[in-house]
Amino acid sequence: MELSTPVQYIKGVGPKRAKDLSKLSVYTVEDLLFLFPNRYEDRSSIKSVADIEIGEKGTVIAEVIAVEITEVRKNMKVIKARLRDEEGNFLVAVWFNQKYIKDILKKGVKAMFYGKVEYRFGEVNMVSPEFELLGTDGLADINMGRIVPVYPLSGNLKQKQMRKILWTVVEECMDEIREVLPAYVLKKYNLMDRKSAIRSMHFPENFDELENARRRLIFEELFLLQVALSVRRKNYRGRHKGYKFVIDEGEVKRLLGVLPFELTPAQKKVLNEIFEDLYSGFPMYRLLQGDVGSGKTIVALLALVVTWHNGYQGAMMAPTEILAEQHYLSLKDMFSHIGMRVAFLGSKLPKSEQDKVCEGLSNGSIDLVVGTHSLIQDRVAFRNLGLVVIDEQHRFGVAQRVKLVSKGSAPHLLVMTATPIPRTMTLTLYGDLDVSTIDQMPPGRKPVKTYWITDSYRSRLYEFIRKEVKTGRQVYVVCPIIEESDVLDVQPAVSTYEYLKNDVFPDLRVGLLHGGMKSREKENVMKSFRDGKIDILVATQVIEVGVDVPNATVMVIENAERFGISQLHQLRGRVGRGEYDSYCVLISDPKTEEAKERLKALVEINNGFELSEIDLKIRGPGEIYGLKQHGMPDLKIADIVRDIDILKVVKEEAMALVNYDDKLSAYPFMLLEIKNRWKGRFDIWAGA
Ligand code: ADP
Ligand code: MG
């Protein structure tokens, strides 16, 4: 049997069970070997009945003395087997409605029994124990008298079948398993070899061995990931020559002079990091992270202007039209006087306008373009794309990022995110990106005062809102989208809007914005809000990302428990952008402890990085940062939070290895394994 053999052809599987296995993402023999148990049951020590504590589980070997079936009431048959263990102790095993047992456990038969021991009616009992006959079919070796694996199941699969299947596979396929880690690494970190580790994960002899096996496989998984990331990074930087921009200090000074504010030291620091990349002669490959409102946009815009200085085109992609247009307007407001030809590209543009932009980009009559997903359409081509900026990059998949980049010849790449990524995560996810962090807010920002209230405070909240509006400020009220069987229900927003408009604030201007509206309608509403023609904007989380209206000072979030920490923080970041005191009011009566923890964290902490660490602790990494979305293979056994210490060591080792052998020519099996795991996700060896 080869590792790539479909499971269907394994003895005892067949098409039906293969289908059940596919629901566990198991298609091949290899997938099976890497389907690790959820947990283990210790059935290893076989005891005499007398030695098992009442209330504990244990394994005994015993002979069947007699079996009887009684019908205690209609449809309830009790099967009792009288047993005697090898020391002569008696035990009664009891099952309910499992008549077939009588046919298996005949008088005189010897079997192993595993179950919980209880004391009832003067007898020692085992209720519904699992059992295997001795000596006939070998099943006792698998299910009894050892540490027994407990697998995830699906469909009609039974635990015992799974064990049997895995037993067969482990027996028959071990010779196919190749070591993928370098010998010196195994030695240095005292790691178990791969074959033994896989065998031990399924059928360990003891718990120490299991622990060693697990450590080895965690190490392997993280090592392969880090090697792949290092190769990807090295290839990106090393294989292509990047555009070498000239950074003219005088020009930069002049640019900074036209800004309506002075850059913060943090902004200056990251701007310098970016300039160094642009100047280096290698393509930049950098993540710019900074809390909501820390001022990432201007940094990106400056990099775009420098790109233009150097005679190259620049493109900036944002996840929504509102946001893209906002960036486009900033760019025009601040820099159009210096002669740059700037364009916007989004689906709201009439087709003919879009055609014009496309033409301008390909013939070079447009210097900079800001847009949405429209930028990655096939028909968009550039004359000489020098810099790609991607805003709110967590909204895009890797494929989209790659697609835009590939419209140039190794252009510089800057991706930005306001979802602060805990350091642990940057280490893994962005092992291949350089990271710049804006860790400081522009001056004069006052922290947004955050309150958590229940329904009973509503009337006081409405009075407060009225007061704010009377002094000229504006208010957001955000309602969750209820997701039911894939249909997005915007009803909460709509009914809140009607209630506020008709019953609470008939004298104020209330607007509505949700994802179900046509993009032109959305634009109009957003524009009215920006222009101060709407006092209270009721919205779904469509406004979560990037919108900048400094006059808005109150963010009310209905059913706040339905949002995640980082979403709430993003929403809160929509206010507190101007000179006024700002407020975020979370309305919620959460049912779960986890939700309470989240809201409490929001009230107490204003810093996005701290919040993200808390989020990571509460929810775990998989949930928050869909690894797949970043082009990563799923982690099967490692946990980047729990295994952070291993991860650090592994990263160093992986980088060292890639430094002297970036083709992995000395490690063909490692190369094969990495290619296998990354299959179809991100071609790290493209063109190599
Ligand atoms: P984000 O990092 O969330 O994308 P923005 O780039 O949208 O933040 O900036 C938020 C607001 O702060 C904008 O109104 C921007 O003009 C303003 N801003 C940026 N940098 C500074 C600064 N150094 N001083 C004052 N205001 C700034
Ligand atoms: Mg932004």
pLDDT in tens, 572-587: 988 988 789 999 999 9
Describe the chain by its helix, strand, coil percentages, rounded to 5. Answer: 45, 20, 35
- Kind of pairing, strands 412-417 and 285-290? parallel
Instruction: Using DSSP, state whether 588 is helix, strand or coil.
Output: coil
Q: Residue 294 C-alpha to ligand 1 middle, in angstroms?
A: 6
Write down the pTM of the prediction: 0.67
On average, the pLDDT of the chain sits at 87
Q: Are residues 351 and 499 in the same domain?
A: no
pLDDT tens-digit series, residues 243-278: 999 999 898 999 899 898 999 999 999 999 999 999
Number of neighbours of residue 374 by Cβ within 10 angstroms: 21
| Choice among 49-58, 385-394, 514-523 with the minimum mean pLDDT | 514-523
Nearest ligand to residue 299 Cα: 1
Q: How confident is the model at residue 146 (pLDDT cuts 50, 70, 90)?
A: confident
Please provide residue 450's backbone torsions phi and psi, each rounded to the nearest 5 degrees: -115, 130
Kindly report the three-state secondary structure assignment for every residue of 223-250: HHHHHHHHHHHHHHHHCCCCCCCCCCHH
Q: Residue 309 C-alpha to ligand 1 middle, in angstroms?
A: 23
Q: Are residues 473 and 563 in the same domain?
A: yes
Of 572, 605, 638, the position where a domain reaches its end is: 605
Sequence letter at residue 343: A
What is the pLDDT, as a whole number, of residue 632?
Answer: 58
Of 548, 570, 579, the one to substitute when testing ligand 1's pocket (max ligand atoms within 8 A of C-beta) is 548
Q: How far apart are the first and last CA of the chain?
A: 32
What is the pLDDT, as a whole number, of residue 488?
Answer: 56
Q: Are residues 32 and 140 in the same domain?
A: no
Nearest ligand to residue 294 Cα: 1
Could you tell me if residue 501 is inside a domain? yes
Highest mean pLDDT among 85-99, 472-486, 610-624: 85-99
Torsion of CA 14, 19, 21, 23, to 10 degrees: 180
Q: Are residues 18 and 82 in the same domain?
A: no
Contacts of 674 (CB under 8 A, 6+ apart): 224, 227, 228, 664, 684
Of 259, 267, 288, 298, the one to substitute when testing ligand 1's pocket (max ligand atoms within 8 A of C-beta) is 298
pLDDT tens-digit series, residues 390-415: 998 777 777 788 889 889 988 999 99
Residue-range definition of the domain harbouring residue 6: 1-42+162-176
Ligand 1, closest atom to CA 294? Answer: 2
Nearest ligand to residue 260 Cα: 1
pLDDT tens-digit series, residues 536-575: 999 987 775 667 788 999 999 999 998 888 889 989 988 9
Ligand 1, closest atom to CA 438? Answer: 2
Q: Residue 96 C-alpha to ligand 2 middle, in angstroms?
A: 63
CB 31 within 8 Å of CB 25:
yes
Handedness of CA 303, 304, 309, 312 (dihedral sign): positive
Q: Are residues 398 and 333 in the same domain?
A: yes
Share of residues in the chain with pLDDT > 90 (%): 52
- Token look-up 């701290």 returns 610
Nearest ligand to residue 256 Cα: 1
Q: Are residues 466 and 594 in the same domain?
A: yes
Torsion of CA 448, 611, 624, 477, to 10 degrees: -20
What is the pLDDT, as a whole number, of residue 579?
Answer: 82
Residue 532 has pLDDT above 50, yes or no: yes
Higher pLDDT, 173 or 685: 173
Residue 327 has pLDDT above 60, yes or no: yes
What is the pLDDT, as a whole number, of residue 66?
Answer: 92
| Choice among 33-42, 368-377, 518-527 with the minimum mean pLDDT | 518-527
Could you tell me if residue 244 is inside a domain? no
Mean pLDDT of the region 470-493: 78
Q: Are residues 170 and 57 in the same domain?
A: no
Residue 687 has pLDDT above 80, yes or no: no
Higher pLDDT, 510 or 172: 510
| Selection from 663, 643, 614 nearest residue 428 by Cα | 643
DSSP state of 503: I
Q: Are residues 499 and 520 in the same domain?
A: yes
Task: Give CA–CA dist 109/104, Å, rounded.
Answer: 9
In this structure, which long-range contacts are made by residues 95-101, counting pairs with CB atoms below 8 Å and at least 24 apart in sequence?
A: 95/128, 96/128, 99/69, 101/67
Could you tell me if residue 663 is inside a domain? no
What is the pLDDT, as a whole number, of residue 683?
Answer: 46
In this structure, which long-range contacts are made by residues 186-190, counting pairs with CB atoms below 8 Å and at least 24 apart in sequence?
A: 189/219, 189/649
What is the pLDDT, as a whole number, of residue 684?
Answer: 43
Domain count, the chain: 4
Residues in contact with ligand 1 by the CB-under-6-Å rule are: 261-264, 267, 290, 292-298, 418, 442, 548, 577
Ligand 1, closest atom to CA 262? Answer: 23
Q: Where are the alpha helices (DSSP H) in 628-680?
A: 644-660, 668-677
DSSP state of 153: -
Q: Are residues 53 and 35 in the same domain?
A: no
Highest mean pLDDT among 13-27, 140-154, 624-638: 13-27
Q: How confident is the model at residue 636 (pLDDT cuts 50, 70, 90)?
A: confident
Q: Which residues of 282-317 are buried (b: 16+ CB within 10 A; e: fewer)?
A: bbbbbbbbbbbbbbbbbbbbbbbbbbbbbebbbbbb
Q: How confident is the model at residue 482 (pLDDT cuts 50, 70, 90)?
A: low
Higher pLDDT, 229 or 377: 377
Of 370, 399, 417, the position where a domain reaches its end is: 417
Residue 476 has pLDDT above 90, yes or no: yes
Residue 95 has pLDDT above 90, yes or no: yes
Q: Residue 292 C-alpha to ligand 2 middle, in angstroms?
A: 7
Q: Are residues 69 and 101 in the same domain?
A: yes
Residue 122 has pLDDT above 90, yes or no: no
- What's 262's domain CATH number? 3.40.50.300
Torsion of CA 550, 555, 560, 562, to 10 degrees: -40
CB 158 within 8 Å of CB 166:
no
Residue 420 has pLDDT above 70, yes or no: no
Of 397, 417, 437, the position where a domain reaches its end is: 417
pLDDT tens-digit series, residues 275-295: 999 998 888 988 898 888 889
pLDDT tens-digit series, residues 648-674: 899 889 989 998 898 899 999 999 998
What is the pLDDT, as a whole number, of residue 685?
Answer: 42
Angle made by CA atoms 103, 107, 108, in degrees to the nearest 5: 125
Q: Measuring CA to CA, how many Å separate 242 from each of 213, 287, 505?
A: 44, 17, 57
Q: Are residues 89 and 61 in the same domain?
A: yes
Could you tell me if residue 589 is inside a domain? yes
Q: How confident is the model at residue 615 (pLDDT cuts 50, 70, 90)?
A: confident
Could you tell me if residue 531 is inside a domain? yes
What is the pLDDT, as a whole number, of residue 445?
Answer: 81
CB 240 within 8 Å of CB 284:
no
Q: Is 483 exposed, middle or buried (0-12, 13-18, 19+ CB in 10 A)?
A: exposed
Q: Are residues 23 and 111 in the same domain?
A: no
Residue 354 has pLDDT above 50, yes or no: yes
pLDDT tens-digit series, residues 307-318: 999 999 999 999
Q: Residue 298 C-alpha to ligand 2 middle, in angstroms?
A: 9
Q: Residue 546 C-alpha to ligand 1 middle, in angstroms?
A: 10
Which residues are in the CB-under-5-Å shell of ion ligand 2?
546
